[in-house]
Each structure stands twice: as structure tokens, then as C-alpha cells.
Amino acid sequence: MRILYGRNTSINVQKAVWTLGELGLDFDWIDKDGTVGSINSADYRELNPAAQIPTIDDNGIILRQSNAIVRYLAHTYPEGNLCPTEQPSYAEAERWMEWQATDCWSCMRPVFWGLIRTKPEDQNMAEINKNIETCHKEFTFLNDFLADRPYIAGDQFSMGDIPAGCAVQRYFNLPAEHMQWPDFPHLKAWFNRLSERPAFKQYVMLPLE
């Protein structure tokens, strides 16, 4: 029995569900559209005391923290080839997963919340624009890294592409035309490659909300 908890518009849930899709694993999805149950219920808090999504129950192994879930699934189901077996591919996959959760998300989160989840009259545009500038700098690092490789770990798609891919889907769809955008040829080529993957199309390419 495998159960994923969390609504489909959450970036952190998207990482987990995209991974499940890539691996072709069966699962039940609770609160898929955010209308069933509440993450503040006592039952859910037993699974996830922080009352956050996602949580996965993989045959009794209960796991929280989206990037840990991606790693766990990639390691536990190696036949899906999501976990690189050689260095430096493994280290690069890990490095960019860490980057997404830290350097990238610390500037993307305020931009995403500011532009998508805050009423226009309450938006602090100075703060948002400052963070967009930082995002441009951070995504330039990834663009440059992808100059000589089709995927983050090298020639093959891997777990390393998943958190960053979810973040870039949000970044490229931000309503931020008022800012100057770098060119990003390598980031765009990589994003186009991800966009051809059925599980990415199904679970990640959703309108931002």
C-alpha cells in the first residue's frame, strides 16, 4: 500500500508525485485537489506533526520532507534509474537538490508567494523585485552548469532534475514581465526536455496558484 498526501498545486507535493510517475509506481492520492480533509486534523498530524505536505506512506514507511521523499523513492526503486550509481553524477544530483531547497527556494518562495498568493494591493513590489534579481542570479548558475550536459547528472535524467525542474516551472511562469530577464538558453533547452516527459506534463505543468 502506498499513499501520497497533499494537494497537487504544492511544489513539494509535485516533486513527490512526479517521482512516483517517473517510477511507474501505483499509489493512492489523498487530498489531491486540496478539498478532502484537513492537514490540521489529529489524524494527519500523527503522520506529519508539522502539518505540512507532502507525506508519503510507502508500505508503512512514513516519510516527510519533499526532497527526502524524492531521494528515498529513487534509492528504494533503483530499477527506475533515478539514482545515479556513479560519481560525479550522484554528487551533482545531490548538489542541485540541495541548491533547490536552500539558495534557490529562499529567493523563489517570496517571489512566488508575493506575486501568486498575495492580493495585488498587499504586494510589496520592492521586496519582490529584489528577490527576482536574486532568482535571476541563482538560475544563471544552473543555466551555466547545463551548458555541456542534457541533464543535471549528465547524460541521463535523474532525481537531481526533479526539485530544480519543479522550481523552474514556477520561475518561467511568473508574471514578472516588468523585470529584465536573462536569456537562459541552456536552462530553456533543459526545461523543454523535461516538458516532453509524460509525468512532468501530468503533475507539474499546472497553472500557478
Residues lying near ligand GSH in the complex (CB under 6 A) are found at 10-12, 39, 52-54, 65-67
**Pick 40 or 87: Cβ nearer ligand GSH:** 40
User: Least distance in Å: CB of 147 to ligand GSH?
Assistant: 28
- Spatial neighbors of 200 by CB under 8 A, at least 6 apart, are 18, 165, 194
User: Least distance in Å: CB of 104 to ligand GSH?
Assistant: 12
Where does residue 29 fall: left (phi above 0), alpha (psi -120 to 50 degrees), or beta otherwise? beta
User: Least distance in Å: CB of 12 to ligand GSH?
Assistant: 4
**Pick 17 or 39: Cβ nearer ligand GSH:** 39
Cell readout for 198 is 509524460
**Pick 132 or 162: Cβ nearer ligand GSH:** 162
Integer Cα distance of 209 and 192 in angstroms: 22
User: Least distance in Å: CB of 34 to ligand GSH?
Assistant: 8
At position 57, the amino acid (one-letter code) is D
**Pick 11 or 167: Cβ nearer ligand GSH:** 11
Cell readout for 74 is 529513487
Cell readout for 113 is 508567494
User: Least distance in Å: CB of 154 to ligand GSH?
Assistant: 25
Q: Which of 21, 25, 30, 24 is nearest to 3 (CA)?
A: 30
User: Least distance in Å: CB of 109 to ligand GSH?
Assistant: 9
Cell readout for 158 is 535523474
**Pick 67 or 131: Cβ nearer ligand GSH:** 67
Kindly tell me the sign of the dihedral angle through the C-alpha atoms of 61, 5, 64, 89.
Answer: positive
Integer Cα distance of 76 and 136 in angstroms: 35
**Pick 62 or 189: Cβ nearer ligand GSH:** 62
